[in-house]
Structure 1
Amino acid sequence: MVFFIPIIFFFTTLLSSPATILCLNQEGLYLQRVKNSLDDPDSALFSWNDRDDTPCSWFGISCNPSTSSVSSVDLSNANVAGPFPSVICHLENLTSLVLYNNSINSTLPLDISSCRSLRYLDLSQNLLTGALPHTLADLPDLRHLDLTGNNFSGEIPNSFGRFQKLEVISLVYNLFDGSLPAFFGNVSSLKMLNLSYNPFVPGRIPAEFGNLTELEVLWLTDCSLVGEIPDSLGRLKKMKDLDLAINNLHGPIPSSLVGMSSVVQIEFYNNSLSGNFPPGMSNLTSLRLLDASMNELSGPIPDELCSLPLESLNLYENRFEGKLPASIADSPNLYELRLFKNFLTGALPENLGKNSALKWLDVSSNKLSGEIPATLCEKGELEELLMIQNSFSGKIPASLGDCGSLTRVRLGHNKLSGEVPAGVWGLPRVYLLELVENQFSGSIGKTIAGATNLSLLLISRNNFSGEIPDKIGWVENLVEFSADHNRLSGALPESILNLGQLGNLDLHNNQLSGKLPSKIESWKKLNELNLANNQLSGKIPDGIGKLSVLNYLDLSGNQFSGKVPLGLQNLKLNLLNLSRNHLSGDLPPSLAKDMYKNSFLGNTGLCGSIKSLCENTTQTKSQGYIWVLRSMFILASLVFVVGVVLFYLKYRNFKKAKRAIDKSKWTLMSFHKLGFSEYEILECLDEDNVIGSGASGKVYKVVLGNGEAVAVKKLWGGAKRACESEDLEKGRAPDDGFEAEVETLGKIRHKNIVKLWCCCTTRDCKLLVYEYMPNGSLGDLLHSRKGGLLDWPTRYKIAVDSAEGLSYLHHDCVPPIVHRDVKSNNILLDGDFGARVADFGVAKVVDMSGKGPKSMSVIAGSCGYIAPEYAYTLRVNEKSDIYSFGVVILELVTGRLPIDPEFGEKDLVKWVCTSLDQKGVDDVIDPKLEACYRAEICKVLNIGLVCTSPLPINRPSMRRVVKMLQEVGMEIHPKANKKDGKLSPYYYEDTSDLGSVA
């Protein structure tokens, strides 16, 4: 017994030790429940250890130093996922909750109102859906509410008009589709109201917003606004940033707005505003940026506007007439001046740029004249000089040759003359130098060796002369060199072979002579070579057949001799022209065909299978014999023509009679209100109107009586089915494609899904009538010579539009629809290059029974676009479409086909991955794209790679893809962008009274 007493004493002491009795407090236990409810793939919550006594040292947790209770939770960018953790509201002293840029999903629960102490709530850039809980307005101390970049839908609750202390509310980039809420005019404490980029019902700006006298920021961009800007906004004396861009506002700019004396930034671009600027603009003494572009404003630019301390003045695409006021040159803070696409006349102010650090000047597409001011780069900060399509004359000022800050110079389509200053040729940062269609003379300066960043050198249609300098080979980043229609002479310098990035070399219509460089195969990226109408001689180098990406070759009108290189038959050329040279010998076998006859005209020494190219000297014909043959041919031709005319007249009468009978057999099913009949369609289905054809039938362009156009797809059925084999390859019964198209498109209403007007059927033929897309398919345009029309902003727009169309199919259709044949040829482009997803012949409804992806009998889709798992499991779900869309993104970024012989055994996805590893991103990006967009292009490229992940589980949802693409767009429009968790540039964020908020 005595032995056990010390042992009992020892354990009693141990258990009563302070080091062992400590355990996690109640707030820590609540946070542990939060951790357990979230998916944490990056282990961001690793430090949330239940062995601690308090959570105050955990990642993202801040505590009040006096009470040691949790006051702030900040899990920004932690990559956590799961539903909103309501248990976090049990933290009684929680004043700030930030979950920015995660994957918080599901709906926001009603019991969020139990977070009674919250002052700051940021749930932006997540995946929250459904309606906003009306109980948010019950948070008595809430001052900052940011729900940007989610998928909230429906109307904004009326209860939001009851907030008592709310200062900031941001609901940007959601799916709210009700009316723009006037009740926000009751929240008198508001300092920032941001409702931009929501599909609200078209409506006016509520006049009640004029009651928000504390308001500093009002952003209503792309909110379907109509009507006039209310005068009441002029009462907002503390306004700093007013953005009403991208709406349908009309009428004049209210004169009351000149009372907003504190305003720093005004953006009205892309509306239909009209009339003159209101008098009194000089009252806006704090104004730094004014963008009223793309409206219908008229009258002169007021002098008082030019006397303001502006930093940015954008008034392009209006109807301004008259001269540019000289006072604009006196604005000391002016760094951006964009006035393109107006009717401005006269000269630029003589001292423009002398008193201000001008960075961007764009006065393109006006009627301006006079000389280029020598003071434009007085402060040494000018980056972009855009003056195309005017009537400027005189010489380029020598001072521009010393402007080392210039990156983009476009002076094309003017009346400029004289020699280009030597310094301009060698500007070190310029990537685009465009002098097209002027009257410049002299030679290309040797100083071009200093233009180390030059990508595009465009000097066509001038009077440049002399030899191309040997220093041209130093410009290693050159992608396009166009100097056609000049008087350049001499031989091509050997150093030009150093241009390894060269994709387009156009020197036709000059006076070049000598031989082509022998090692021409070093131009591995050359896509277009045009040296026509010069005096070049010698043999065509054999290495030209090794230019694997060359698709345009014109060497016509020269003095080349010898044989046609055998390697030319290995190239996939859209154009080949070797006419009017001195070539001889046999043609390569695959080129010795009649289809290439026009490619070799005027080469009398050429022989081969094209008989008309060869002179036949072994036979002579007597003139009499030739005359007899000609007479017989003429007589036979007359008989033939008379016979054809008679046959045509009989056939036309027969067709009219048959058409009158057949018209009664057509059945019309419409899906929209139609302004035409089936007979108007049938009258135009002739071969002259065919715009495309395939295994399933033909597509016609039909211009209706009202001047509008529609596209008609004609599918054969019954005994005349020409597409059965194609149908079976795509996994459908011969009639299923038509039925799937009608069933799918007939009930879909979305701006990015092609509209099916109606269908017409008979026993043997089926017609589908769609809206007409003037720019055809993305695939045809991107991979043709017209691909240059697709600059990066256009390609980005196409990516977003088509992603939104697919997101609608996957997430907003009930049940969801899988397209199964997403590819660039099934993305159609309207007149403004807006994208529509088309061709639903193999689309399938997703099985919602919970049994997993449905298995198809055979593969649908197109080579290069088919997801890996689809090929061996035949399982259909949305992830297959996402893979295919990822391939489309890679096409947009690279300009490459999904399958190309250059890739060898690889497809586009594998080629991109391999090239990125071995050569870097610059080898992947389409050289036609301007370098200034490189950062955005790389981010979109990453999205494409994520979408084409080999494992379906790693591919994001289509809704997430849209969101990621929009985030790239936010960086292009920085006001919708977040940096370090804050909106910029005039984003109100006052947390001074939130205690110990981190």
Structure 2
Amino acid sequence: MKTSVPHLILCSTIFTLHLNYFSLALNQEGLILQKMKLSLADPTGSLSGWSDRDATPCNWTGVACNRRGSVASVVLSGASLYGSFPVSLCRLHSLEKLSLLNNSINSSLPLSISSCRNLVYLDLSQNMFVGPIPASLSDLHFLRYLNLEGNTFSGEIPSTFGKFKQLETLILTENLLTGTIPAALGNITTLKKLVLAYNPFSPGRLAPELGNLTNLEELWLSYCHLVGPIPDSFGRLSRLKNFDVTCNELTGPIPSQISQMKSIVQMELYNNSLSGPLPAGWSNLTELRRFDASTNRLTGMIPNELCELPLESLNLFENQLVGSIPESIAKSPNLYELKLFKNRLIGPLRVSLAKNSPLQILDVSYNTLSGELPEFLCHNGALEDFVIFDNAFSGTIPTNLGKCMSLQRVRMKENRFSGEVPAEFWGLPHVYLLELVGNAFSGNISNLIGGAKNLSTLEISKNKFSGSIPNEIGLLDILILFSADGNELSGEIPSTIVNLRQLGTLDLSNNNLSGGLPTGIQSMKMLNELNLANNRLSGRMPDEIGNLAVLNYLDLSRNNFSGEIPGSLQNLKLNKLNLSDNMLSGDIPPLFANSVYKDSFSGNPGLCVDNSCSRKHEAEKGKNRVFSWVLRSIFVISGIVFLVGIVWFLLKYKRLEKMKKGVTITKWTSFHKLGFSEFEISDCLKEANVIGRGASGKVYKVVLSNGETVAVKKLHERPKKDENDRNSVLSSDTDEYDVEVETLGKIRHKNIVRLWCCCNTGNSKLLVYEYMPNGSLGDLLHCNKSVLLDWPTRFKIALDAAEGLSYLHHDSVPPIVHRDVKSNNILVDEYFGAKISDFGVAKVVKAVNKGVESMSVIAGSYGYIAPEYAYTLRVNEKSDIYSFGIVILELVTGKPPIDPEFGGQDLATWVCTTLDRKGSDRVIDPDLDSRFKEHISKVLDIGLLCTSSLPTNRPSMRRVVNLLLESGASLPKCTRKAW
């Protein structure tokens, strides 16, 4: 049969199309990568550009090819991929570089990884890998870079790692590795960088074999549970630049062989138990820029030759060093940080200190240094932190220091300084903390203080300052604390002081001040403590003092105040009230007429106490019997009218009761024996009694007829929801009400706020709680009340809150996840005991879900939400633990979870970054007593553990409680609270 011409043309066209199709088909390596793409979840579409229409994958995102067109590199860092490790990649025979950094790969690392035989670079850090590290990794003979940081690898470091032939970088930080650091690592003589920090290794010694790593440039072994001495063999690490073994339990002396580390730039030995004197031979370490051996048990003197090095930072604080500071310290031309506090140093600060260096930070507190201050401390205009408290310095403040415009923090308390403070010193524009307490300074407070625009804390108590407080004090817009008690100040309190809208503490007690309280004091809305005791103040106490909503400490004793006590004082939530030894008269306001305040009004003969006023006027009443008879007649007539009114009211009330009886019985549910009725509650829900507002409603303070005080939460009334909205989670006040009642109604624990009763009639939803006089932890920390919270108090609050959460997670049946743990939901009673509150978004964990439940919306507060919760909506106790870790960081730093100071970071990130760069001193709240630093650091570590980005790394709440209790053993016995 003959074939027609058109048919031949058609066949030829089809054949040509097939050839074109196969010429454009994806090659074998592209198909392998497509298989990898299909095996991983890609929620952000990072691999959406990988198209099977391309001939090769060489132009795909994250893929690079060699000159032969074969795939040599796959780099998919931060692509939000999750799933199992793509083993198929090992079929790319030319693959040399693989990076899956910062994804969510959540499988074990398969043994078959050894089939990626040409790998030179492997980075799997910041993922969720689990299980042991495969011993077969050492079969990758060309591997030079291996980074497994930030995963949950467990088990021991394989001893087979000693077989690596070309490995230069090994990073295993932040995993769950156990066992000890194997001596076999000393066989990898090609290593330049060995980083194993932050792993829960078993206690073990530093292997002397690591001294064989003669090419090593960085050795980082912090938090590795190391014990015993630093091996002498480490002296052979002549190329080592960074040596960090901080936060271990190393003992013994620093070996003299360290003088052979001729390339060392940074040596970090702090937080160990090293002892003995600092060795000789420092002059050989000509590259040393930073030396930190703080918080050890070092003895002896600071070597001269150490101070002659070109150091930038020298930290030897918290040791047992003796002697004086070497004069040779002035020969360090780059020295910007010198911290020698908490030693036994004596003698003066050297005259030439800072003359030839840009000294920024000087802290020599808690020594016995003496003499006058050198004049060159700010010679180069760089000094920022000047901390010399608790020494025996004397003399005056050098004039040049008054011109130090770089100064930010000045702490000179508890020394022997005298004379006048230079006028310019008062007005330094960048100083935010000025502390001169406990010296013998005299003279006036200069009016130049108005230039100290950055000043937030001014403490000049227990000196001999005299004269009046300058009007310019009112220009310090951000002043939070002004303490000048125990001086010789006179004159009136300046009227401009009411301009200090941020002021939280004003203590001017024990001076010679006169006049009255300034007009307009109600504008000081943040005032928490007002102490003007033992002055010569006079006049009437203004009613407006009752408008200071957050005032809880008021002491006006031993003055000449007269007139009646303002009834508005009853609006305040006072922890301390002392108006004794004045000239007050009239009645004591009803709220204070009880035994709690019995000593608050003594020494005021004109006050009516225990009916004294009635007895005083009895004689006068006897002289006016006719007038009394008239009054009695009026009272009799009024009584008759009153009785008629009562009878009428009772008749009406019975009818009303019959109508409302059924409703009243059903709307109130009590969980404890009550000594009050619902009518008392509803009558007190007035705007004047509001003590808090939130997204869900208002909270009222209600003082009951029996003297008790309760807190009442009234939920907002919201419009009825459509039928389609019924399944939304916690989308209405009804949901929150039901959850709160269901959760709190059955809980009995000392650290969970008590729900007395509740009311729900459909239109009105009320929750009645026990009243917590000190409000929330958030208010205490961040509303200028933190002066009330010394470290032992903060620790007690942390421990109480931890025990409350531990009960919810471990002892409640079934377990409960709070889902909104934050400082504002931790309430504080009159004894600073803490209780968890606000269970409106709590969730009962169902056993069928094994502790994990997926929610349809995010609950919680910005800054406290665990990272994984924000994008997976998986609910379990680990979310609460993260939030509690943020609360710990708030207690340690005194900072809120979100703050512009953090530059867009959250508190947890800011703390980690600042710790690494600047150390714990820049993290810990400067208002906390430094003698607790060791314990604060331990609690800070617990907070960081709780805020680990990986949920599996966070301890259980029961473990958190144990960690806190164990840490508390380091607190001085005299400062321990009732925990």
- TM-score by length of structure 2 reads 0.68
- The code of the aligned residue for 1:524 comes to K
Contact kept, 8 Å, 1:362 with 1:385, in 2: the verdict is yes
* Aligned counterpart, 2:92: 91
Equivalent of 1:959, from 943, 952, 975?
952
* Aligned counterpart, 1:57: 59
1:394-421 deviations in whole A, cap 9, x for unaligned? 1111112222222111111111111212
- The code of the aligned residue for 1:101 comes to N
* Aligned counterpart, 1:427: 428
* Aligned counterpart, 2:616: 617
Equivalent of 2:47, from 45, 49, 53?
45
Contact kept, 8 Å, 1:823 with 1:865, in 2: the verdict is no
Instruction: Kindly state the Cα deviation for residue 598 of structure 1 after the two structures are TM-superposed.
Output: 1.5
Contact kept, 8 Å, 1:579 with 1:599, in 2: the verdict is yes
Instruction: Kindly state the Cα deviation for residue 592 of structure 1 after the two structures are TM-superposed.
Output: 2.4
- The code of the aligned residue for 2:59 comes to S
Please tell me whether residue 889 in structure 1 is matched to residue 874 in structure 2. Answer: no
CA distance, structure 2, for counterparts of residue 446 and residue 73 of structure 1: 66
Instruction: Kindly state the Cα deviation for residue 561 of structure 1 after the two structures are TM-superposed.
Output: 2.5
* Aligned counterpart, 1:452: 453
* Aligned counterpart, 2:400: 399
Please tell me whether residue 588 in structure 1 is matched to residue 589 in structure 2. Answer: yes
* Aligned counterpart, 2:33: 31
1:700-849 residue pairs with structure 2 within 5 A? 787-790=788-791
User: Structure 2 vs 1, CA of residues 288 and 611 (structure 1 numbering), >3 Å: closer, same or farther?
Assistant: same
Contact kept, 8 Å, 2:534 with 2:557, in 1: the verdict is yes
CA distance, structure 1, for counterparts of residue 606 and residue 797 of structure 2: 52
1:171-214 deviations in whole A, cap 9, x for unaligned? 11221120221110111111111111222111111011111111
- The code of the aligned residue for 2:548 comes to L
CA distance, structure 1, for counterparts of residue 892 and residue 551 of structure 2: 14
* Aligned counterpart, 1:248: 249
* Aligned counterpart, 1:329: 330
Contact kept, 8 Å, 2:808 with 2:816, in 1: the verdict is no
Structure 1: tracts of 5 or more residues without a match: 621-725, 739-776, 829-834, 838-842, 856-861, 868-875, 898-908, 949-954, 964-998
Contact kept, 8 Å, 2:822 with 2:864, in 1: the verdict is no
Contact kept, 8 Å, 1:187 with 1:212, in 2: the verdict is yes
1:627-706 residue pairs with structure 2 within 5 A? none
Instruction: Kindly state the Cα deviation for residue 729 of structure 1 after the two structures are TM-superposed.
Output: 7.5
CA distance, structure 2, for counterparts of residue 347 and residue 27 of structure 1: 73
Instruction: Kindly state the Cα deviation for residue 33 of structure 1 after the two structures are TM-superposed.
Output: 3.0
User: Structure 2 vs 1, CA of residues 892 and 201 (structure 1 numbering), >3 Å: closer, same or farther?
Assistant: closer
1:928-970 deviations in whole A, cap 9, x for unaligned? xx99659999xx99x99xx99xxxxxx987437789xxxxxxx
1:536-555 residue pairs with structure 2 within 5 A? 536-555=537-556
* Aligned counterpart, 1:375: 376
1:77-120 deviations in whole A, cap 9, x for unaligned? 33333332222223222222222223222322222212222211
Contact kept, 8 Å, 1:529 with 1:554, in 2: the verdict is yes
User: Structure 2 vs 1, CA of residues 887 and 251 (structure 1 numbering), >3 Å: closer, same or farther?
Assistant: closer
- The code of the aligned residue for 1:547 comes to L
1:437-496 deviations in whole A, cap 9, x for unaligned? 111112222222222221111111111122222222222121111111111222222322
* Aligned counterpart, 2:759: none
1:6-405 residue pairs with structure 2 within 5 A? 8=10, 12=14, 15=17, 22-64=24-66, 66-405=67-406
User: Structure 2 vs 1, CA of residues 560 and 733 (structure 1 numbering), >3 Å: closer, same or farther?
Assistant: closer
- The code of the aligned residue for 1:355 comes to N
Contact kept, 8 Å, 2:221 with 2:244, in 1: the verdict is yes
Structure 2: tracts of 5 or more residues without a match: 620-739, 751-775, 828-833, 837-841, 855-859, 866-872, 911-919, 928-938, 957-979
User: Structure 2 vs 1, CA of residues 433 and 172 (structure 1 numbering), >3 Å: closer, same or farther?
Assistant: same
CA distance, structure 2, for counterparts of residue 881 and residue 126 of structure 1: 18
* Aligned counterpart, 2:713: none
Aligned with 2:573: secondary structure? coil
User: Structure 2 vs 1, CA of residues 935 and 279 (structure 1 numbering), >3 Å: closer, same or farther?
Assistant: closer
1:631-683 deviations in whole A, cap 9, x for unaligned? xxxxxxxxxxxxxxxxxxxxxxxxxxxxxxxxxxxxxxxxxxxxxxxxxxxxx
CA distance, structure 1, for counterparts of residue 806 and residue 12 of structure 2: 71
1:851-870 residue pairs with structure 2 within 5 A? none
- The code of the aligned residue for 2:63 comes to I
CA distance, structure 2, for counterparts of residue 279 and residue 397 of structure 1: 36
1:246-271 deviations in whole A, cap 9, x for unaligned? 11111111111111111111111111
Aligned with 1:553: secondary structure? strand
* Aligned counterpart, 2:607: 606
1:878-912 deviations in whole A, cap 9, x for unaligned? 53663486367358638999xxxxxxxxxxx9xx9
CA distance, structure 1, for counterparts of residue 806 and residue 169 of structure 2: 34
Contact kept, 8 Å, 1:820 with 1:881, in 2: the verdict is no
CA distance, structure 2, for counterparts of residue 565 and residue 25 of structure 1: 89
Moved more, 578-587 or 324-333: 578-587
* Aligned counterpart, 1:680: none
Please tell me whether residue 438 in structure 1 is matched to residue 431 in structure 2. Answer: no
Contact kept, 8 Å, 1:414 with 1:437, in 2: the verdict is yes
Aligned length: 755
User: Structure 2 vs 1, CA of residues 296 and 884 (structure 1 numbering), >3 Å: closer, same or farther?
Assistant: closer
CA distance, structure 1, for counterparts of residue 257 and residue 797 of structure 2: 36
Contact kept, 8 Å, 2:479 with 2:503, in 1: the verdict is yes
1:525-536 residue pairs with structure 2 within 5 A? 525-536=526-537
* Greater relative contact order, per chain length (Cα 8 Å cut-off, separation 6+): 1
Contact kept, 8 Å, 2:554 with 2:574, in 1: the verdict is yes
- The code of the aligned residue for 1:47 comes to G
User: Structure 2 vs 1, CA of residues 894 and 188 (structure 1 numbering), >3 Å: closer, same or farther?
Assistant: closer
Instruction: Kindly state the Cα deviation for residue 541 of structure 1 after the two structures are TM-superposed.
Output: 2.7
- The code of the aligned residue for 1:494 comes to S
Contact kept, 8 Å, 1:601 with 1:613, in 2: the verdict is no
- The code of the aligned residue for 1:611 comes to D
Aligned with 1:886: secondary structure? helix
Instruction: Kindly state the Cα deviation for residue 130 of structure 1 after the two structures are TM-superposed.
Output: 1.6
- TM-score by length of structure 1 reads 0.67
CA distance, structure 2, for counterparts of residue 797 and residue 213 of structure 1: 50
Counting aligned pairs with the same residue, the percent is 52
User: Structure 2 vs 1, CA of residues 91 and 523 (structure 1 numbering), >3 Å: closer, same or farther?
Assistant: farther
Aligned with 1:616: secondary structure? helix
Contact kept, 8 Å, 2:852 with 2:876, in 1: the verdict is no
Contact kept, 8 Å, 1:795 with 1:892, in 2: the verdict is no
1:487-518 deviations in whole A, cap 9, x for unaligned? 12222223222222211111111122222222
CA distance, structure 2, for counterparts of residue 891 and residue 309 of structure 1: 39
CA distance, structure 1, for counterparts of residue 892 and residue 268 of structure 2: 35
Contact kept, 8 Å, 2:818 with 2:880, in 1: the verdict is no
Aligned with 2:48: secondary structure? coil
Taking only aligned residues, the RMSD between alpha carbons, in angstroms, comes to 5.0
Contact kept, 8 Å, 1:604 with 1:614, in 2: the verdict is no
1:761-794 deviations in whole A, cap 9, x for unaligned? xxxxxxxxxxxxxxxx9999979977532499x8
Contact kept, 8 Å, 2:128 with 2:950, in 1: the verdict is no
User: Structure 2 vs 1, CA of residues 614 and 462 (structure 1 numbering), >3 Å: closer, same or farther?
Assistant: farther
Contact kept, 8 Å, 1:292 with 1:315, in 2: the verdict is yes
Instruction: Kindly state the Cα deviation for residue 234 of structure 1 after the two structures are TM-superposed.
Output: 0.7
Instruction: Kindly state the Cα deviation for residue 301 of structure 1 after the two structures are TM-superposed.
Output: 0.9
User: Structure 2 vs 1, CA of residues 303 and 852 (structure 1 numbering), >3 Å: closer, same or farther?
Assistant: closer
* Aligned counterpart, 1:710: none
- The code of the aligned residue for 1:129 comes to V
CA distance, structure 1, for counterparts of residue 237 and residue 25 of structure 2: 55
- The code of the aligned residue for 1:44 comes to S
Instruction: Kindly state the Cα deviation for residue 816 of structure 1 after the two structures are TM-superposed.
Output: 12
- The code of the aligned residue for 2:223 comes to D
User: Structure 2 vs 1, CA of residues 785 and 194 (structure 1 numbering), >3 Å: closer, same or farther?
Assistant: closer
